[in-house]
Amino acid sequence: MDDHPEPSTVRVFVALAPPDEAKDELARALRPAYAGYPRLRWNRIEDWHITLAFLGELPSTAVPPLRSGLAALAASRPALRLGLRGGGQFDDRLLWSGIDGDLEGLHRLAADVRELVGSCGIEFGDRPLRPHLTLARSRRDDSTSVPQAAAGLADFVSRPWRTERLHLVGSNIGRGPGPIRYRDIEAWRFGTALRAGGGSAPAEP
């Protein structure tokens, strides 16, 4: 008897993740904020990501065709050259770092991901892409910590990096109390079909 059956639904999104070196660079810049704003609910560094499409709660049966489509999409695309720049906030409640670099390519990738999701018969809230890396959330009675922490990141600029993989991620958002946790359902390297076919993949920075 299976004591841990697979859930019938899964809450998922499609995302990119900065490499460890870029996350470490931002974490060092955030040290004053970690100490200065202890009431913020900080995301775990390993959970930092750039959401391309948030799909919400899906039947588990919807995931396999999505996986095969995303694998093919990633294989056919070169890596993007991106970076992290500055900080900002949404509604004084959510702290983020901005995305720099090949934003045109990032928007094209997000549009193609969303088109693929739609072709799989999955309906989702297709909101305009606002590229960012979510860092922390404030408590309901704290309206000052997030704007102040965002101002402290105004001059931050990371070194550029290349995206390595396209990630299909599951989360526990909306499933009871406790911190938000994310896990990779699967991730696919960019440009594998280009390399296999003799195409030129971008050099690493």
| Active-site residue flag, 107 | no
Residue 70 lies in a domain: yes
Task: Tell me whether residue 66 is in a domain.
Answer: yes
Rounded distance between C-alpha atoms, residue 145 and residue 203, angstroms: 40
Of 4, 49, 107, 167, catalytic: 49
Q: Is 2 among the domain residues?
A: no
Active site residue 132: yes
44: pLDDT strictly greater than 50: yes
| Among 203, 84, 106, CA closest to 155 | 84
* Banded pLDDT at 203 (limits 50, 70, 90): very low
User: Are the CB atoms for 47 and 182 separated by under 8 Å?
Assistant: yes
Mean pLDDT of 60-80: 93
Q: 11 or 45: whose pLDDT is higher?
A: 45
The domain of 56 spans: 9-196
Where does the pLDDT of residue 124 fall: very low under 50, low under 70, confident under 90, or very high at 90 and above? confident
Q: Is residue 17 one of the residues assigned to a domain?
A: yes
Does a structural domain hold residue 121?
yes
- Among residues 4, 107, 132, 167, the one annotated as catalytic is 132
Q: Of 13-27, 91-105, 113-127, 174-188, which gets the smallest average pLDDT? A: 174-188
Q: Is the pLDDT of residue 100 over 50?
A: yes
Question: What pLDDT was estimated at residue 199?
Answer: 52
- Closest to 165 in 3D by CA, of 6, 7, 16, 12: 16
Task: Indicate whether 4 belongs to any domain.
Answer: no
Q: What is the Cα–Cα distance from 22 to 161, expressed in whole angstroms?
A: 7
Residue 135 forms part of a structural domain: yes
Q: Count of domains in the chain?
A: 1
More confident residue, 102 or 183: 102
Q: In whole angstroms, what is the distance from residue 158 CA to residue 84 CA? A: 5
Task: Confirm whether 152 is domain-assigned.
Answer: yes
For residue 87, give the CATH number of its domain: 3.90.1140.10
Summarize the confidence of residues 24-48 as an average pLDDT: 95
Overall average pLDDT of the 172-197 stretch = 76
Are 15 and 171 a contacting pair, CB within 8 Å? no
